[in-house]
Amino acid sequence: MNPLFDLTGQVALVTGASRGLGQYLGRALAKSGADLIVTSRKKEDCAAFIDEIEALGRKCVALSLDVRSQDSIEAMAAAAASVAPQIHILVNNAGCNVRKPALEVTWDDWNLILDTNLRGAFFTAQHIAKQMIPHGYGRIINIGSVTSVFGYAGLAPYTASRGGIKQLTMSLADDWGRHGVTVNCLAPGWFKTSQNAVMYEDAGWVEYLTDRIPVKRPGQPNDLDGAVVFLASESSRYVTGQTLLVDGGITTGSTRATVQKRT
What are 80-118's pLDDT values in tens digits? 999 999 999 999 999 998 999 999 999 999 999 999 999
In a domain, 254, yes or no: no
In a domain, 120, yes or no: yes
Pick the catalytic residue from 24, 137, 152, 158.
158
Cβ–Cβ < 8 Å for 40, 48: no
Domain span at residue 223 reads 11-246
Report the largest interatomic distance among the alpha carbons of the chain, rounded to a whole angstrom.
Answer: 74
Per-residue model confidence (pLDDT) at position 259: 45
Percent of the chain with pLDDT over 70: 95
Residue-wise pLDDT for 44-73, tens only, equals 999 999 999 999 999 999 999 999 999 999
Per-residue model confidence (pLDDT) at position 254: 56
Residue-wise pLDDT for 157-207, tens only, equals 999 999 999 999 999 999 999 999 999 999 999 887 766 777 788 888 889
> d(Cα 60, Cα 50) in Å, to the nearest integer?
6
In a domain, 132, yes or no: yes
State how many domains the chain has.
1
Residue 15's pLDDT band (cuts 50, 70, 90) = very high
In a domain, 187, yes or no: yes
Predicted TM-score of the model (pTM): 0.93
Please say whether the dihedral angle defined by the alpha carbons of residues 63, 18, 123 and 103, taken in this order, is positive or negative: negative
Closest CA to 184 of 168, 169, 197: 169
In a domain, 51, yes or no: yes
Per-residue model confidence (pLDDT) at position 260: 46
Cβ–Cβ < 8 Å for 145, 187: yes
> d(Cα 192, Cα 219) in Å, to the nearest integer?
7
Per-residue model confidence (pLDDT) at position 208: 86
> d(Cα 125, Cα 113) in Å, to the nearest integer?
17
In a domain, 251, yes or no: no
pLDDT at 261 over 60: no
Per-residue model confidence (pLDDT) at position 263: 43
Residue 255's pLDDT band (cuts 50, 70, 90) = low
User: How much is the mean pLDDT over the chain?
Assistant: 93
Please report, as a single letter, which amino acid is at residue 262: R
208 an active-site residue? no
Cβ–Cβ < 8 Å for 2, 49: no
DSSP states of the chain: --TTT--TT-EEEESS-SSHHHHHHHHHHHHTT-EEEEEESSGGGGHHHHHHHHHTT--EEEEE--TT-HHHHHHHHHHHHHH-S---EEEE---------GGG--HHHHHHHHIIIIIHHHHHHHHHHHHHGGGT-EEEEEE--GGGT---TT-HHHHHHHHHHHHHHHHHHHHHGGGTEEEEEEEE-SB--TTTGGGGG-HHHHHHHHHTSTTSS-B-GGGGHHHHHHHHSGGGTT--S-EEEESTTGGG-SS-PPPPPP-
In a domain, 45, yes or no: yes
- Domain containing residue 235: CATH number: 3.40.50.720
In a domain, 252, yes or no: no
Per-residue model confidence (pLDDT) at position 81: 97
Per-residue model confidence (pLDDT) at position 262: 46
